[in-house]
Structures are given as structure tokens and as C-alpha cells.
Structure 1
Amino acid sequence: MGRDILGWRTLFGVMGPSTNTVVQPDFDVMRPAGVTNHYSRIYTPDADAISNDSFRAGIAVIGGNVLDAVRSVMTCHPDHLVMGMSAVTFFDGAKGADRFIAQVQEVSGIGVTVGSHACTAALNAYGAVKRLAVLSPYWPVMNSEVARYFGDMGFTVVRDIALQCRSWTGIAQVTPQQCVAALKQLDGDDVDAIVQVGTNLSMVKLAAMAELWLGKPVIAINAATYWHALRANGIMDKVAGCGRLLEEF
């Protein structure tokens, strides 16, 4: 069977919420020659008044629509799937992440990269990281799930910030200035690394710059996820300008 003319190395099928406007351009910035990204939108009604109570319900709706997006993108015969939404991959700790992967693989029959396990792999690649600070656009109820997951994986979340965005689309409107202020608030001598979750929060370039002035790993989940997908498929290309993870590991 012949190879795809543009994706002659690998075709990625990417599932992301239909409200998400950041994952697709972020992944394209990090895309090496011969790798192509094929976005499948998970139907997601936008919300204009997200709260702690409604956040979990909204995530459940998105999670319930994921497999339809998987079935849709499988029609282009991708080599590997990439989950472009992080919240559903942190729910219920490590066992929840593993259960989600199993569900996707049962439908697709191919490998899948998810944000939670990608962040763990990224932290382990840096090495000597145990104590974390977490930045998210979520609500506190979701940050608790993120902390639970990282606890299962052997890390300790020392502190976290939930930006409490009021809509799904509003996450993409968080400014670099807001992110910088949050990073400064999160940093401290008791933190080995900072992890940003929430794929519609644009942090790939900013996290790369923050590593320079904070002197420690700052992991943007979109960078970790795409790095993991590349490396899982034997693509070791280095990508400049998107952080040490893609430049060194």
C-alpha cells in the first residue's frame, strides 16, 4: 500500500472539542515535515456560565462525544490518535486515564496519546522532578482531579491556580500577561516544575520562554502531548522554539 503524499511519515488523527481554537494551530506549529495532523471535532456546545457545579457536567458531555470523533477521523486511516483535550484524561486518576485509553483503542484499533500520561512522560524525561505547581483555565473541582492524577503517578502538587474561565471559548482569550502573572505566583523554591493543563489555553511559546527566566521545566500540555505522539511513533525530530522538551528529548 502506498504512503500518503504529504503525511509520508505519519498521519495523526487529532480529537478536540469543537469549541477549541488553540490545539489545531499549536500542533501545526510543532509539525515536522512528513507528518500531518487531521483534526476531528468533538461536538461541544459552548457554555457562557461555567461554574464548579456545571464544569463536571460539561466535561461529561464532551467525553460522551469523543468516540464519535474517533470513528469520524478513522475514515482517513491515521497511524496514531492524539487527544487534543486534557480534562477527560485526568478524571479518576491514573485508572481513569487508562480506562479512557482502552475505550479509544477498542474503537480505533491503534495507539493514542493523551495529555495526562504525556505530561508524566515529559516530567520523567526532565528527571529529578517530584513537586509540581499546576496552572489551568479550569475550575477548582477539575484541578483537584489533576492533583489526584499526578499523585497517582508519584508527584506532589504543591499549589495550583484555576483561572475559572466562564466559557469554553473564553479559555482561548486568556492573555499572555495573565499567564505570566499566574506563573510568577505559582513559582517557588519548593516547586521542581510547573505544568499547564487545558488545551485551549495558548501556552506553548510562553512556556518555552518561561523556562528560561524561571530556570526550571515549564510544561505546556499541548507541547507535551505532541512531543509524546511524535516520540511514540519513532519521530525524533527536534523542534525549536517550543521548549526544552521538543528541543532536547
Structure 2
Amino acid sequence: MVDVLGWRKLLGVIAPSTNTVVQPDMERMRPEGVTNHFSRIFVEDPLALSNEDFIAGTTKIAESTLDAVASVMTCKPDYLVLGMSAVTFYGGVEGARAWKKQVEDFAGVGASTGAESVAAALKAYGNVKTVSFVSPYYPVANAEVRRFLEESGFEVKKDIPLQCKRWTDIAKVTPETLDGVIAELDGDDVDAIVQVGTNLSMVDIAAKYEAKLAKPVIAINAATYWHGLRACGIEDKIEGLGRLLAEF
């Protein structure tokens, strides 16, 4: 017997309790027969005014992640999609692998992380050597993203940390702001543009600019859900949310 609605796969989706973007984003990407089961990492909405504040906030997310995993595992999902971003980049490629292994060992099922999903997405497009990226983070976390991308084989040309003061402020960054950011990140020497930070709403904007610029523009929520679907053997092509989900 199989789950009546999730007859193909049950996905446990994890995100910070302050996040208002991951859940609606990933519901839009969900194919028939796949169901998403959301679990929130309890975290306060702290005021970040420095690199140190930002690292402290993300550390609290990391420390509470396994509690959220334990909660969602009671519905017996087949796989986990981790809709939290910054900590998955920390420590470069080896740090990212260690973080994923910790979650998978605890859960007893596989998991897709933001960091590995972005790297896999860039490689799926092919011929991507140089990238630029935007985040809602502080510079200290952007340095970790840069390290991960460079260790994954990509040259980072530019990066912009938006330095959002609260986790909930990330979801308030406007499309108009991101228009200007993409213009600043783009260039003839940039093969692809990446957005990290799962509470930054950029799936639609990425799809729009991907068509306009004729180069990959990757939103982390699309990359992570795509990675999770493909890891589960779900090959459905989903239109309207960028080339990654529609073609690869």
C-alpha cells in the first residue's frame, strides 16, 4: 500500500520558522503524486548588525535543524529537501558534505542541501565556468559561499551581500531591488548568476532574467527542489519556473 496523495514520493521540507518563501515556492514546483511535508526549524528573528551577529543567527539555525528533522520524520518521508541555505555552504565542499551526512545519518533517508544543489545545477547547464551571486547575508557568509563555489570548480566574478537586518526582512526584498542587483552582477565575463538565501523570493525573477540574458540564472529554492526530485527519480519537467526545472 502507498500514500493516497503522495503515491510517488513523500518529501520532508525543512526551513527556518521565520521563512515565508520556501513553503509556497516548493508547493508550486510539486508534481502530481509527490507531496511536501513542511517542518520548521525554531529560530527567533534576531537583529543582525554585524558579521558576528549573522554567524550567531545561522549557528542557532544549525543547532536546531535536527529537531525539525525529527519532527518531520514521524510522517515517514522518503527524502528530505533542506530549505535553509547559509549553513550548507560553511566549511567549503568538505564542510557541506559533513553537514549533509549529519542530517542523513540522523534521518535515515537522503537529503538535498542548498549548496550541493546549486553546484549540481550549474554543472547541469554545462559550460559554466564563471559565476556571480547575490545573497541576503553579511559578507562573512558570502565568503563561505564563494569558497564553496570555487572549491566546486567555478570562478566567482562578483558577489553582493544584501545584509538584511532580520530573517523576516529577507522576504521583503522587492523585485525592483533585485532588478538592480542582477544588472550589477551580470557581465560578459559571467556565465551564470546565482541567488542564495532561501527566504529571498527570486524564482520568478530568475526565470525572467534567464530568458532575457540568455544565460543561467539560478534561484536556490528551484535548484534544491529540482535536486530533490531528480535524486528521487522524479523526472517531470515543470514549466514556467526556469530552465532547470523545465529542461534538466
TM-score by length of 1: 0.98
In the other structure, the counterpart of 1:20 is 19
Which amino acid letter does the alignment assign opposite residue 60 of structure 2?
Answer: V
Question: What SS does the aligned partner of 1:213 have?
Answer: helix
Deviations 1:78-130 (A, max 9, x none): 00001000111000100111001111111111100001100111001100001
Equivalence map 1:115-194=2 (5 Å): 115-194=114-193
Deviation of 1:52 (Å): 1.3
Q: Percent identity?
A: 59
Equivalence map 1:1-249=2 (5 Å): 2-249=1-248
The two structures, once aligned, show a CA RMSD in angstroms of 0.7
Between the aligned partners of 1:52 and 1:103, the Cα distance in structure 2 is 26
Between the aligned partners of 2:61 and 2:55, the Cα distance in structure 1 is 10
Which amino acid letter does the alignment assign opposite residue 128 of structure 1?
Answer: N
Between the aligned partners of 2:48 and 2:62, the Cα distance in structure 1 is 19
Between the aligned partners of 2:244 and 2:2, the Cα distance in structure 1 is 29
Q: Is contact 1:15–1:83 with CA below 8 Å preserved after alignment?
A: yes
Deviation of 1:156 (Å): 1.0
Question: What SS does the aligned partner of 1:158 have?
Answer: strand
Deviation of 1:188 (Å): 0.1
Deviations 1:115-154 (A, max 9, x none): 1100111001100001110111111111000000011111
User: 4+ runs of 1 displaced by more than 6 Å?
Assistant: none
Question: What SS does the aligned partner of 1:191 have?
Answer: coil
Q: Is contact 1:132–1:155 with CA below 8 Å preserved after alignment?
A: yes
Q: Is contact 1:50–1:167 with CA below 8 Å preserved after alignment?
A: no
Q: Is contact 2:195–2:219 with CA below 8 Å preserved after alignment?
A: yes
Deviation of 1:214 (Å): 1.2
Deviation of 1:175 (Å): 0.4
Deviation of 1:235 (Å): 0.6
Deviation of 1:215 (Å): 1.3
Question: What SS does the aligned partner of 1:173 have?
Answer: coil
Deviations 1:187-241 (A, max 9, x none): 0001000000000000011100100111100000000000000011111111111
Q: Is contact 1:27–1:222 with CA below 8 Å preserved after alignment?
A: yes
Between the aligned partners of 1:86 and 1:213, the Cα distance in structure 2 is 26
Between the aligned partners of 1:130 and 1:5, the Cα distance in structure 2 is 44
Deviation of 1:48 (Å): 2.6
Which amino acid letter does the alignment assign opposite residue 189 of structure 1?
Answer: D
Q: Is contact 1:193–1:216 with CA below 8 Å preserved after alignment?
A: yes
Which amino acid letter does the alignment assign opposite residue 192 of structure 2?
Answer: A
Question: What SS does the aligned partner of 1:68 have?
Answer: helix
Q: 1:119 to 1:64 in 2, by over 3 A?
A: same
Between the aligned partners of 1:88 and 1:4, the Cα distance in structure 2 is 32
TM-score by length of 2: 0.99
What is the aligned residue count?
248
- Segments of 5+ residues of structure 1 without an aligned counterpart are none
Which amino acid letter does the alignment assign opposite residue 90 of structure 1?
Answer: F
- Segments of 5+ residues of structure 2 without an aligned counterpart are none
Between the aligned partners of 2:102 and 2:48, the Cα distance in structure 1 is 30
Deviation of 1:49 (Å): 3.5
Between the aligned partners of 1:49 and 1:202, the Cα distance in structure 2 is 20
Q: Is contact 1:84–1:115 with CA below 8 Å preserved after alignment?
A: yes
Between the aligned partners of 1:232 and 1:169, the Cα distance in structure 2 is 30
Between the aligned partners of 1:242 and 1:88, the Cα distance in structure 2 is 25
